[in-house]
Structure 1
Amino acid sequence: KSVSVSSGNEVSITPARAPPIASAYESANAFVAFAEEIEKSIGGKLTDEDGTPLTGGQDPKYIAEKAQTFNLSRLLNRLDAGLHAEVKKVHKNQWPSVEEALDLRDRRLNSMKRGDELRSGVCVRFDSYVNIVKKKNIRFCRAEVAGIDWEEKTVRLASGEALPYDDLVVAVGVETADYGIPGVKEYALPMKTLKDGFHIRERIHGMLEAYENGDRKRISIVVAGGGATGVEFAAETANFFRRLERDGVVKTGDADVSLVEGGADVLMMFSPALRAKARARLASLGVTVKTGTKLTEVKDDGTVVVWTAGVRPFGAMKDWGLPLDERGYAKVDKAFAVEGMKNVHALGDCVTFLHQKTKARVPALAQAAVKEAGVVAENIARHLERKLPMSWNPPERWITVVPMGGAYAIADFGWMRLCGMPGYFVRKLADLSYFLSILPPREAWKIWVDGSKVYDKND
């Protein structure tokens, strides 16, 4: 049989042993209640193989009569990848009791609440953002760009709507690069978006649940890429496992984190002294670091592989017809005007901007993008005022801070370097400063406090 989801996907369900009609009738009530929670999550309706809705006032006796074709726990397990739900494992021939079904529902609701808590410290909801920008005469449009008509000066959306412009700013960032390595796209987990973060979290929690149930002997995490993201994630994950060992949840040595880097060392943007501090910190947390090692393939063998090994330019820029360099980044001048195009600007990770003196590419850092945004905004205003644009002269060195689990971070100011708790406080202040640069003070303070609370809970 199959249960179809409104997105068009079909989830195959293996028929379970038919329960006695009385217990099935009781379970049907819980089934319908839980199915309603699923529908809220996916924004669609669950139906049986005939297209009959499972919720919406359906007689529980009808569900009971159809019970042999459904097994709640197996259904949710198969939907798990899409819903990121935490699902209790049930034997393949066991129909969930009312208590089990309600327990699953409560765990799902708790997971949703926990997700809201995690989101509150790292992002601003779209509806909240709309209210913020309305005061600045900004229209926020959540849509996919299908193309750009340079002659008509319009941006075409996937919905069919066309947005005319006087000045256009391209700030689309980058996307994850798999370098054509077999298995990366299929089995590795990227670490680029908030959704990616939740997916990784649920995979690790699923491994822990299997470990607690005796279905797994070990928990293995491999982090591919020894840059700032990979090092921070490896340190935080190892710190999390060390806490579980202290609490007796995981036996010492049963959870391991490995960091794999193809280059000669981790955090190559830092000085040798700070890199040594970082390696020592990773070793103290039990992280196995393998440098000079390249992944040749990722297999589906139960190991969680988190991919932080690199990014590539946003592919749609080529389809839009933007002039690109040999690596695929947008070409801009010293004022961030796209070369050869009128009233078109680009900034952030999607462009190549070289320092005039060192000829080094400006690093892909949030602080750099914020500075660039200020230059572009000023130049758009100057264009309206018929003034010459301003050029940007970036600093040679940037303040770089990498948290490494607990109240520990390494910070490089160029003229001064900090490790441990002082570096951690610098990072927290940098976060607050960034939020204040893009949000009203009250909103910035709230997201900073919420994020600090969540971060501290991992320690």
Structure 2
Amino acid sequence: MLNPEAARSQAAVTPPTAPVVIVGGGFGGLYTALALAERRHHPPILLIEPNDRFLFLPLLYELLSGELRSWEIAPRYDSLLAGKGVAWLQDRVVRIDAQSSQVHTASGRCLAFSRLVLATGAQANDFGIPGVAEYSLGFRTLADVERLQRLIQTLKERSRPLQRLAVVGAGASGVELACKLADQLQGSTIVDLIEQGPGLLPQAKAFNREQAEQALQRRDVRLRTHTRVEAVQPGGLTLLGPAGSEQLKVDGVIWTAGLRFQSLECQPPIPVDRLGRLSCEPTLQLVDQPHLFALGDIAQQELPLPATAQVAFQQAECLAANLMHSLAGEPLDPFNYNDLGEMMSLGRGEASLVGGGFTLAGAAAFQIRKLAYLARLPGKSHQFKVVAGWLADWPR
């Protein structure tokens, strides 16, 4: 942890008017910006994010199924940040000069910062498997949802015998997606869930794992464990399973089998772990870079944390406080994660949750999950708009 004297020395590196620059507008970046903007006498805040919309990823499954609308889970940054005291630059950071406290963007800008927050998140990991990038669909963006919705519509209209979709990866994303797909396809297409490991949801709570297994069975989703994807081709997969190599004919592949992390070019170089995540102190400062901070999926601390929105929510509050402490030359607080439970979407109108000492599954769990995420949507004004939309839909 940086001592007060060193922090005061670091604060003198850049002018006091230089903003806190936040790179990445996902959960970690956006919620840190909003939390910092609520502090009295906060510094100038600049959020750099190339996309025009924030995406509330945990509700992406409900967007696919039509249970929610795109404006509800993907509000525009200019609307979210209006009047909040946060400037937004639609650009991409390509290089960091930590010695001179500057970032360089894809459009050629060179911007000074007093403190820098890195919240660049993660991307889908193809693990170098041939054909994944070319012939599979992801499920992390609005464009991914639109492509998958078109594929679902085509399969339902065509309805040929033995149509098949393969979802690769039986973690939370793969399980939730497989359940939604099976409900949307209404029996017109076989859904295979392919997992390299021995079972689904290895990190999940036992109750949620049991509910997920039952949900997949009710929808006749075919779980293939101990099965590795060797290659993806147009219209098919090469698999290696317990019985050996197999060619599986499919009408589409959706890839959810892991994440990769790509840190930004920095001088001096930023320490990373073997997966490319940024090595952080308990205070969320980067190792050996006390005026640089990180949070969310890209940040790696000594004690591993789940790559979930819940972690980023909590880190954002801690980081906002620590940024104020850092600028004032005060001691920083370590981040302590509080596990509030676990929620999973398990098909249209169904969910499973564990938290607060109780477990629940089914339609009631779905409504609780929906309300819990409503409370986490960014900004009170957007929350009110979403509530108004839900109330207007209630009679239907």
Q: State the AA in 1 paired with 2:94.
A: A
Deviation at 1:235, TM superposition (A): 0.4
Using structure 2 for the length normalisation, give the TM-score.
0.74
Query: In 2, distance between residues paired with 1:274 and 1:157?
Result: 43
- What aligned pairs does 1:143-222 form with structure 2 within 5 A after superposition? 143-209=91-157, 211=158, 216-222=160-166
- Shift of the 333–369 alpha-carbon distance from structure 1 to 2, 3 Å rule, reads same
Structure 1: unaligned runs, 5 residues or longer:
1-113, 243-251, 356-360
Partner of 2:382 in structure 1?
443
- Shift of the 224–451 alpha-carbon distance from structure 1 to 2, 3 Å rule, reads farther
Kindly indicate which of the two structures has a greater share of residues assigned to helix: 1
Deviation at 1:186, TM superposition (A): 0.9
Contact 1:432 1:445 in 2 (8 A): no
Whether 1:417 and 2:359 are equivalent positions in the alignment is yes
For residues 26-61 of structure 1, the C-alpha deviation after alignment (integer angstroms, 9 at most, x for no partner) is: xxxxxxxxxxxxxxxxxxxxxxxxxxxxxxxxxxxx
**Corresponding residue to 2:272 among 299, 310, 324:** 324
- Shift of the 303–320 alpha-carbon distance from structure 1 to 2, 3 Å rule, reads farther
Structure 2: unaligned runs, 5 residues or longer:
1-64, 236-249
Q: State the AA in 2 paired with 1:439.
A: G
Deviation at 1:200, TM superposition (A): 1.7
For residues 65-90 of structure 1, the C-alpha deviation after alignment (integer angstroms, 9 at most, x for no partner) is: xxxxxxxxxxxxxxxxxxxxxxxxxx
Using structure 1 for the length normalisation, give the TM-score.
0.64
- What aligned pairs does 1:289-328 form with structure 2 within 5 A after superposition? 289-301=223-235, 303-316=251-264, 321-328=269-276
Partner of 1:7 in structure 2?
none
Kindly indicate which of the two structures has a greater share of residues assigned to strand: 2
Contact 1:120 1:450 in 2 (8 A): no
Whether 1:288 and 2:199 are equivalent positions in the alignment is no
Q: State the AA in 1 paired with 2:331.
A: L
Partner of 1:140 in structure 2?
88
Q: State the AA in 2 paired with 1:171.
A: A
Deviation at 1:413, TM superposition (A): 1.6
Contact 1:118 1:454 in 2 (8 A): no
Report the 3-state secondary structure (helix = DSSP H, G, I; strand = E; otherwise coil) of the residue aligned with 2:190: strand
Deviation at 1:136, TM superposition (A): 2.4
Q: Structure with the greater relative contact order (CA < 8 A, sep ≥ 6): 1 or 2?
A: 2
- Shift of the 277–234 alpha-carbon distance from structure 1 to 2, 3 Å rule, reads same
Partner of 1:364 in structure 2?
307
Identity of aligned residues (%): 27
Partner of 1:260 in structure 2?
194
Partner of 2:73 in structure 1?
122
**Corresponding residue to 1:233 among 177, 191, 199:** 177
- Shift of the 345–448 alpha-carbon distance from structure 1 to 2, 3 Å rule, reads farther
Deviation at 1:317, TM superposition (A): 5.5
Contact 1:409 1:420 in 2 (8 A): yes
- Shift of the 262–414 alpha-carbon distance from structure 1 to 2, 3 Å rule, reads farther
Contact 1:121 1:448 in 2 (8 A): no
Contact 1:120 1:451 in 2 (8 A): no
For residues 334-371 of structure 1, the C-alpha deviation after alignment (integer angstroms, 9 at most, x for no partner) is: 1000011131100000011244xxxxx11111121011
RMSD: 2.7
Query: In 2, distance between residues paired with 1:201 and 1:452?
Result: 26
